[in-house]
Each structure stands twice: as C-alpha cells, then as structure tokens.
Amino acid sequence: MRAQTLSEARWIFAIFALLAIASSFFSVWLLLFFLLLLFCTLAFFRDPDRAAPADPNLIVAAADGSITDIVELDENEALKVKTRRVGIFLSIFDVHTNRAPIDGRVIYRQHRDGLCLDARHPDCSKKNESMTWAFENARVTIVVRQLTGAIARRIVAWAEVGDELKKGERFGMIRFGSRTELYLPLSATVLVKVGDHVAGGSTVIARLSS
C-alpha cells in the first residue's frame, strides 16, 4: 500500500479506529462492524503498482473502471479542437488513483466547481465538479478530466503544471464512485469498446498513428 494514497484516508481511519475502540466496551458486534468498515476503507484506498507498455504509440487508461461511452466532440477547455472522448466510470470497488496516459509534461491543470450528479451519465461532464489535465509530448497532447459523482466529493491532485510524468505514473485520485474521461486525437485508433473494464496505467485504450 502506498503511504501517499493511504494518507488521503487518514481521518477516516482515525474515526473508525476510535469508534472500534469505544464500541469494544459495549458490544462485540459493534466492534466487528467498525473493524469491517476499516477493512473496506483499506480496500478502497488500495493502490497497486502497474506495468505500462513501453511503446510510445500506445495510450493507456487513466483510471480503473468500465467504459461507458466513446463519442466525438469538441474539447473546449484545453485543446479547443474536436476529439474522441472515452469515458470511464469508477465504481466504489475500483482503484481510484488516476494515472498518466502517455509519457509527457503536465501543461494544464484547472479545477472547476460544480455539482455531484451520477457519474454514470455522460452529461455529468458539463455540470459536475472537475479537474482537467493536459499531458503533452513531442507527438501528442492528451486531455484527462476527473469528475466527481453522486458519492465522490473530493478530487485530489498530486502533480503540478510543469511536472514530467511517465506513462502510468500517478497524478491524483478521486474519492469514491466517480468518472474519468480521456480526450484523444481523432487520428488515434480506439482499441476498447463500451462495456469493457480497464485497469489504469496498464490497459491500452488507443494507438497513435505511426
């Protein structure tokens, strides 16, 4: 387990631990209940290492989860061009760290206030609280957008503008169920389909043209 990821849950761990200690004086069942909550929290904040493919033409998923939509639309915040958006829904059972889809430098990071609507709906991209990132290398610029959901209430950023990240390297996370979107160039070949489950930092979702 990574200390940086677990530290995001330090207050949750502390509260459940105190409740477990207090409940041990009154009820074994309450003690077991709070120990179960501690275990579930530990499972949620798990953060396994992943091996990213070395091929620079391959773009990997920025998050764990299920592909909910693949559509063409304008990315009007960072790139301001028509792109192909791949939406990934993260359930509470998925790893919630976000990872760089390519080797590249962070050239854009912008937080936007908003609502916390159901992250399974593609329209939440326009209304929910979000953090938009752009990763750039000599070949391509990829935009990633982190979105809160009905349960998620906190977007965490670990990288800064100007940081150089390797493909698959962690740049942040979203607490609990949420959505992550990738905005790809139209020339890229998408290698996933709606319904596929992907692993952030390792599942190849698209290939750049040679």
What tens digit of pLDDT does each residue of 57-88 get?
999 999 999 999 999 999 999 999 999 999 99
Is residue 1 over pLDDT 60? no
Q: Any idea which fold 58-207 has?
A: Glucose Permease (Domain IIA) (2.70.70)
pTM value > 0.75: yes
Is residue 9 over pLDDT 60? yes
Verify whether residue 178 is a known catalytic residue: yes
81-90 β-sheet, strand order: 164-165, 104-112, 130-136, 141-147, 178-184, 81-90, 65-75, 197-198
pLDDT at position 144: 98
pLDDT at position 119: 67
Query: pLDDT, tens digit, for every residue of 108-143?
Result: 999 998 766 666 666 677 778 899 999 999 999 999
pLDDT at position 154: 79
**What proportion of the chain, given as a percentage, has pLDDT over 90?**
65
Is residue 158 over pLDDT 70? yes
Domain with CATH 2.70.70.10 in the chain: 58-207
Which residue among the candidates 23, 178, 202, 209 is catalytic per the annotation?
Answer: 178
